[in-house]
Structure 1
Amino acid sequence: MNKYLILCVDDEREVLDSVLNDLRALEEYFVIEAAESVDEAKEVLADAIADHTPLALILCDHIMPGETGIDFLIELKHQEESCHARKVLLTGQAGLEETVQAVNNASLDYYIAKPWNGDQLKQIAIDQLTSFMIDNESEAELITWMQILDTNRIMEALSHRRLSLSDI
């Protein structure tokens, strides 16, 4: 089973700690990193790329010092190493125009408003990671993710892949 990165970005340490706590059940299977700014997140990504650990999921706040979360998500969409990652905006401050900009630039897969429910955040992460794995893993690798992610969706994806192959 390949190791993948989940990156959480928020300039408030208490928020980051809460997100990390909510995702704790996934840390056995994923590298989970926190960053308190976009610049720090870029450093974490550079290290992950150097270690051959692809970014699978990013949960990012919008309003931060320096670069905004939405601008960062748009930037990630245009980089080869991160374009396939699932991108979640976790914020209480993004306006409609900024959110529409992120959606229209295909840089946002999900929006979570603060404050959030911890169980809901974990389930959204699992859903997004399941989508990422279905889109990016081979059949053999995908089967190994069934114990952690959404088994029904993975089985359905495998079934569709086999049906598509039988049409050839």
Structure 2
Amino acid sequence: MVCNRCNMMVKSELEKFGLHPVTVKLGMAEIEKELTPGEKKLLNERFSRLGFELIDDKKTRLIESIKTTVVELIHNSDDLPKMTFSEFLSEKFHQDYSALSKLFSEVQGVTIEQYVITQKIEKVKELLVYDELSLSQIAHQLHYSSVSHLSKQFKKVTGLTPTHFKQVKENKRTPLDEL
């Protein structure tokens, strides 16, 4: 769940199921009672039809928490942390970054760094489409070392330069849940 509409939909579905969620926030819903295996199966079927899935094992929850944290930082915060993503994630999850990275890569098939880059490029696309910031301002906001670094990374991921992307604008952005 990476948007407020998703949170509202999940909360509504849980309530329809007779559950009263304590919290529903990005990537997580907390309910008061333990579900039976049958209830989990029914709830999972209901959420599957909506494009969601129940995550019940510790490793998968950790992966989803990492993804949610990256999305939240890049797309929903005003400023990225002053430390690197690896330092930030290591501190947040109280684990060695290499262990987090290894698990993430095994489960997702991409590294955390690749996931971060993909999210940053989607944010760059969004900011380019809005046309309110210069490329230099975007590079600064997303903590790129230079406009050149941003442009090279953008071209590597999209096949287009940021300027060309801005000109054609037919290149639709990818929904966050499909990254």
Shorter-chain TM band: 0.3 to 0.5
Larger Rg: 2
Larger RCO, structures 1/2 (Cα 8 Å, 6+ apart): 1
TM-score, normalization by structure 2: 0.34
Decide which structure has greater strand share. 1
Give the TM-score, by structure 1 length.
0.35
